[in-house]
Structure 1
Amino acid sequence: MSKRSTIVTGAGAGLGAAFAKAVAAGGSQVLVNNRRHADRPYPAQDVADAITAAGGAAATDEHAVDAPDGPEAIIAAAVERFGSLDALVLNAGISGPAIKVGDGDTELRQVMEINFFANTRLIEAALPHLRRSPAGRIVMVSSTGGLHGVKGRSAYAASKGAATAYSLSLADELWREGIMVNVLTPYAQTKMTARPDRESDPRLAPEGAAEICAWLASEACDRTGEIWVAGGGYMRAARAMESRAAPFSPDGLAELATLPDPRWFRGGEAAFADFYNDAFGED
């Protein structure tokens, strides 16, 4: 049986590096993707070297995920190097500027291009290979900002919300083919989250979210269409919830906002059917 192969994007440092090392420790070959900057050292090579030194198998890829041919080239590089592709860990992303809407350029298009559209192109290019895998897996690295919003980071929150919704839809489309798709929203101290006025918390090292990422990308993962929050070796599940339905009344909004009789649905169709049944007593 051939060894599994996994692509981890944005894996030169921080969470991506931790994810790549954890996936490799689980037995998969890893393509360590990180864009190369001509005027800087190439950290992805250090990650690949560390994996190799630990007895694993790794190669590097320097294509930018948002380059015109980047996603397709990344997939092709993994297949050419390893002969197949079994899993994607879609970690590459940017935060964009910290700015409130109306106060300047939030760089929404740029953030969406990297955090959302590049990932959809990677998935589309990878699907033919994942369908040939005995256990295709996709891990979308998102953020709780995509669930709850982030003040001053509307572009980032919007991109992560889009990535989360896209992944949940994809999970519903692909589960019959045995391809599991899950969303990971990690809490970790990285260069992206660092602030000069705040000391780093060693309990939130990137490695604390890596074990669940490696499991979600593995053949052992038997779950799909879920959102997992992870950090410091802990995890919890996250879901979009709806309350029961009731006739409209301004006075009733406060009570419904507490989510009485909370419900979770796998897909928008199921949510609509439940609302319709609440309102009209019919399926």
Structure 2
Amino acid sequence: MTGAGNGLGAAFAEALAAKGNAVVVNNRRHADRPFTPDEVVRRIADAGGTAMTDGNAVDAPGAAERIVASAIDRWGRLDALVLNAGISGPAVKVGAGDTQLEQVLAINLTANHRLVEAALPHLRRSSAGRIVFVSSTGGLHGVRGRSAYAASKGALNGYALSLAAELRRDAIGVNVLGPYAATKMTAQPGQEPDPLLAPEGAAEACAWLASAECGRTGEIWVAGAGHVRAARAMESVTMRFSPDALSALAAMPEPRGYQGGEAAFADFYQDITGE
């Protein structure tokens, strides 16, 4: 469980432990502040669960291998990978400042890819291998002022859905969770966090997606306040191109969802050929 020192990650780790999982509570160490995973592990232990800390920064060289090794060395197996670590980057408009795109991608996308590569050999040996990518609806819809963040989450969504298709033959479930929660990342100056959007409200969904009971794969789920809904990129019906047709199509008549880009292309081709 990466990025589990506080907020959503801590809530997810505690929910996973409450379901009987032994959890690696990962968060980068900061020399100038307490190591918050210690407190998360203490709460898990007080509740009768099992957990350990890991202080690797997910984007550091060799971190993926070390994080996975922590679980294998301690418990000899790895059944689920929950990838929550992420940063938002600065709030700036494109062209009006440094969006820090490369730094955001390094943590929100590349580090997750490296963790998947390190974990896959062990997940393939599990009877219930699961991967949960913690993403954002910003990756589907965009976020004003957070172009780097939205780009990283859009890339993460595409990566996760492609991975799900590739790993079906290995019976490894791969899903995306887009939580709505009041956290340090979403906090607004001068505003109190909405108690309805406490991180725990998305934790049950996360724990279920990471469990052996979850037989679903290749899907995006939005969760918060104990509620959940499905999300998917959609396409409209097909019309012959003309500028006048665009407004009608933008209203998304008869929206269609697809399991993969191949299916979207096949449907488009069928529309234009009638075959």
Match of 2:140 in 1: 147
5+ residue gaps, structure 2: none
Q: Which letter maps to 1:190?
A: T
Q: Which letter maps to 2:110?
A: F
Matched, 1:109 2:112: no
Describe how 1:1-283 pairs up with structure 2 within 5 A: 8-282=1-275
Distance 2:149 2:37 in 1: 24
Q: Which deviates more from structure 2 when the two are superposed, residues 254-263 or residues 52-61?
A: 254-263
Q: Which letter maps to 1:189?
A: A
Q: 1:60 deviation in Å?
A: 0.5
5+ residue gaps, structure 1: 1-7
Distance 2:235 2:123 in 1: 33
Q: What secondary structure is seen at the aligned counterpart in 1 of 2:256?
A: coil
Distance 1:210 1:264 in 2: 27
The superposition leaves residues 9-62 of structure 1 with CA deviations (integer Å, 9 ceiling, x where unpaired) of 000000000000000001100000001111110000110111111111100000
TM-score under structure 1 normalisation? 0.96
Distance 1:16 1:135 in 2: 22
RMSD of aligned alpha carbons: 0.7
Distance 2:241 2:96 in 1: 36
Q: What secondary structure is seen at the aligned counterpart in 2 of 1:255?
A: helix
Q: 1:172 deviation in Å?
A: 0.6
Q: 1:261 deviation in Å?
A: 1.6
Distance 2:24 2:78 in 1: 10
Q: Which letter maps to 1:132?
A: R
Distance 1:62 1:81 in 2: 15
Distance 1:103 1:246 in 2: 38
Q: What secondary structure is seen at the aligned counterpart in 2 of 1:230?
A: strand
The superposition leaves residues 49-98 of structure 1 with CA deviations (integer Å, 9 ceiling, x where unpaired) of 11111111100000000001111110111111111000011000000000
Distance 1:199 1:38 in 2: 29
Task: Give runs of ≥4 in structure 1 deviating > 6 Å.
Answer: none
Q: Which letter maps to 2:220?
A: I
Q: 1:199 deviation in Å?
A: 2.2
